[in-house]
Amino acid sequence: MPGNFPPPSTLDALSEILRLANLTGAVLADVTSAGGWGVSVPAASATRYAHVVLEGDCLLRAGDREIALRSGDTAIVFAGGAHTVSGAPATSHATPLASLLRPVVAGELAPVSVGSGGPRARWVTFTFSLDRHLGAPLLDAMPEALALSLRGSSALTWMGESLGLSLSLTDAPRAGAAAVLARVAELAFIEAVRRHVESLPAGGTGWLAGLSDRHVGATLALLHGQPGENWTVERLARQVGISRSALGDHFSAIVGEPVMGFLARVRLQRAAHELLAGGKAIKMVAKDAGYESPQSFARAFKRAYRLPPSRWAKRQRARRNA
């Protein structure tokens, strides 16, 4: 029997990706800097770094890019590469971020400082992580480094209020402070991605451009949210309120690949996630991914990942535990 799905107006592919990919965030450092200062941030594989400027001005250098940041701006290094945050003008000396980090005590993040004299800035470093398979559509679509304004957002207000300013008003640590900081970091990430999507020019192509299109965005939400359903282009078209031919043409023009080809990739990403999580037989993983038999699933998986499912999962777990 066909599934019961919400109307297209309530579907949100970005929310589906974030829900399925287990977005987690954490605030690492609340930094006050002054004078000629610089902080080096290492490359990361499992997590990604982001920085929010609460006061003053900073520079972010990532690869060949130099990005000026002012109060209310955030910068996210989606590619996970090494980068530096510094004052303007930048200094040749950079302090490793690890040397500035302080343990969180009873949920409270102790402020730290770097440099002295000269213009003052206050900025916050936070991290976020997504399951690398289920989060791939989003991470692969984002630029290497993204900078934009969070001014006027609740995320920026809550971040300022959740850090040292209010903590000093009481001798007792606030209950749930660590959880609040984690949620604020996640909210800042979501708000930054949302604003980036809304800033994209009309007529663009790719997964992010598809999020802003009424019919393609609703289709993406269905495919990400229920990849194991027995989807056809015709059935998807009925769900999102457009003709079969129009959806097929429109989806391919914006996303850059046919609907069913995109669905096959989403199914395999979900299967890869389940294989690494363990606890399910190949037969059940294949069924959850929408394949009629373990054999057809194994063939499709090997074409995409170059190894049969069981061997691929074994190798990935060995690398993770090395």
pLDDT in tens, 20-49: 888 999 989 999 999 889 999 999 888 899
Distances (CA, A) of 266 to 136, 231, 262, 272, 300: 9, 13, 6, 10, 12
pLDDT digits (tens, 9 = 90+) for 140-167: 899 999 999 998 888 778 777 777 543 3
> Percentage of the chain with pLDDT > 90?
53
How far apart (Å, rounded) are the C-alpha atoms in residues 242 and 207?
A: 19
Query: What's the rounded mean pLDDT across residues 186-197?
Result: 91
76-85 average pLDDT score: 93
Domains of the chain: 15-199 (2.60.120.10), 207-321 (1.10.10.60)
Which residues are bridge partners to 151 per DSSP? none
Whole-prediction pTM: 0.81
Confidence of residue 106 (pLDDT cuts 50, 70, 90): low
Burial of 288 (0-12, 13-18, 19+ CB in 10 A): middle
- Going by pLDDT thresholds of 50, 70 and 90, the confidence category of residue 51 is very high
CA angle 217–220–222, rounded 5-degree value = 115
